[in-house]
Amino acid sequence: MRIVITGGAGFIGSRFVELLLEAEHLGYSEVVILDALTYSGRRENMEAALRDARCTFVHGSITDYDIVDETLRGADAVVHFAAESHVDRSISGARVFFETNVLGTQTLLEAAQRHHLGRFVHVSTDEVYGSIAEGSWREDHILEPNSPYSSSKAGSDLAALAYHRTYGLHVNVTRCSNNYGPRQYPEKLIPLFVSNLMDGRKVPLYGDGLNVRDWLHVDDHCQGIMRVLEGGRAGEIYNIGGGTELTNKEITYRLLALMGADESSIEPVRDRLGHDRRYSVDCDKIARELGYAPQVPFEQGLADVVQWYRENEAWWRPLKAQQ
């Protein structure tokens, strides 16, 4: 069987490809990575996967009709990671987020429907739900996105579900909480703070630092997606969370401790526009139906990723120089 992974040169997508190649029981004998290699997609992220003869790479954008059509021809499944994903970038320039996340997703869906693909897994985010003061979102909660990024992802979610309801395409949508792990682009909180501290620089903490996020190791996220790929019910949405809710201030202090720094390294900065206060996903559905549970203890996972950035300066330092 043949599977196409969009965004497979990115942080989460590249790790998913590596784990998928290990999951021989799923039966995919050909894995095709489709990636435009924008700033956060890197050839280096695919090096291990492309050493496997089952894996090939197609350089192209999900907004390119011809490339998408040719890549999906003969495929059995798609797992769709490709997206513009950084909230701050969406605030300063929203157009590309809607072009890639909405129109790009629709281009993929159209090709998937035309070529009668068996499964289409659309990877989304908990940010489409908005902000929740208490409790946790279930999959049937209304969508209340508050940033250009999250609204573009909400639009792509609805497009995916529409292709199931209108055309019968076997679509699943997954909505994950905040990912962390090796090879995460250093604009995101954990790699940004770790790399700043390694260089003796301060870490920028938004507002009062009390915004709450649920942290999910990239390996746990990928395992959840694989369970959905294998057994998700057509047309269903599945939340994937890590079960570790922390304020931004709390995770900052944990990173300071791991890096041997103190609170003098914190630089308070003006809060992000439209900054959601708290995210929290209810993962009962994926646990009950597909047996998902996060496996990476947060303390160990965080320590491991800090060590990875310590040992892999050659990977992230050129990226920091471009910022």
List, by residue number, the catalytic residues: 126-127, 149
Provide the β-strand partners of residue 245: 214
Q: Are 228 and 121 in contact (CB under 8 A)?
A: yes
Q: Which two tokens stand for residue 254?
A: 């944990």
Q: Are 191 and 218 in contact (CB under 8 A)?
A: no
Q: Are 190 and 180 in contact (CB under 8 A)?
A: yes
Q: Side-chain half-sphere of 305: how many Cα atoms within 13 Å?
A: 29
Instruction: Spell out the residues 6+ positions from residue 307 whose beta carbon is closer than 8 angstroms to its own.
Output: none
Q: Which two tokens stand for residue 285?
A: 């559905």
Beta-carbon neighbour count of residue 5 at 10 Å?
27
Beta-carbon neighbour count of residue 201 at 10 Å?
14
